[in-house]
């Protein structure tokens, strides 16, 4: 079942892609969106946290690896990259370098969520 946005019925609600774009991507084995979880570091400890964020993990991907993932996604046709952190995305040491790298790519949108002031 597909739920459609009432304002733009051609868009699949919450995905910002038309059903045709989704069908074409599946047919052509292309990627439409990428969610990047850069770090599980977070200075909050919400009891409902889906990722048990808190301390930075010792095996986080390097900046080079994350930028390589972005490049691979772009080569696969990605159109939306969401930087959602996993924890607090602004706590990743090279977040500005990653965002700058994404900004050079022909992606439609960059989303960062959650964005929490982190004076820790």
Q: Which of 5, 19, 26, 46 binds ligand SF4 (CB under 6 A)?
A: 46
Q: Give 25 or 53: the residue with its C-beta nearer to ligand SF4.
A: 53
58, 87, 92 from 52: Cα distances, Å: 15, 8, 16
Shortest reach from residue 61's CB to ligand SF4, in Å: 17
Shortest reach from residue 78's CB to ligand SF4, in Å: 23
80-83/109-112 β-pairing:
parallel
Q: Give 12 or 43: the residue with its C-beta nearer to ligand SF4.
A: 43
Residue 111, interface with ligand SF4 (CB under 6 A)? no
Contact between 76 and 32 (Cβ < 8 Å): no
Of the candidates 56, 50, 46, 48, which has an alpha carbon nearest to the alpha carbon of residue 89? 56
Q: Name the 3-class secondary structure at 109.
A: strand
Which residues of this chain interact with ligand SF4, rule CB under 6 A?
42, 44-46, 49, 51, 53, 87-88, 114, 116
């Amino acid at each position: 079942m597909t739920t459609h946005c009432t304002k733009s019925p051609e868009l699949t609600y919450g995905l910002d892609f038309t059903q045709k774009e989704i069908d074409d991507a599946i047919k052509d084995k292309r990627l439409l969106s990428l969610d990047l979880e850069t770090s599980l570091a977070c200075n909050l400890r919400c009891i409902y946290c889906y990722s048990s964020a808190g301390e930075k993990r010792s095996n986080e991907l390097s900046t080079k690896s994350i930028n390589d993932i972005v490049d691979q996604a772009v080569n696969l046709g990605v159109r939306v990259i969401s930087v959602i952190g996993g924890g607090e995305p602004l706590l990743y040491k090279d977040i500005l370098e990653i965002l700058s790298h994404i900004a050079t790519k022909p992606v439609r949108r960059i989303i960062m969520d959650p964005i929490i002031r982190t004076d820790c």
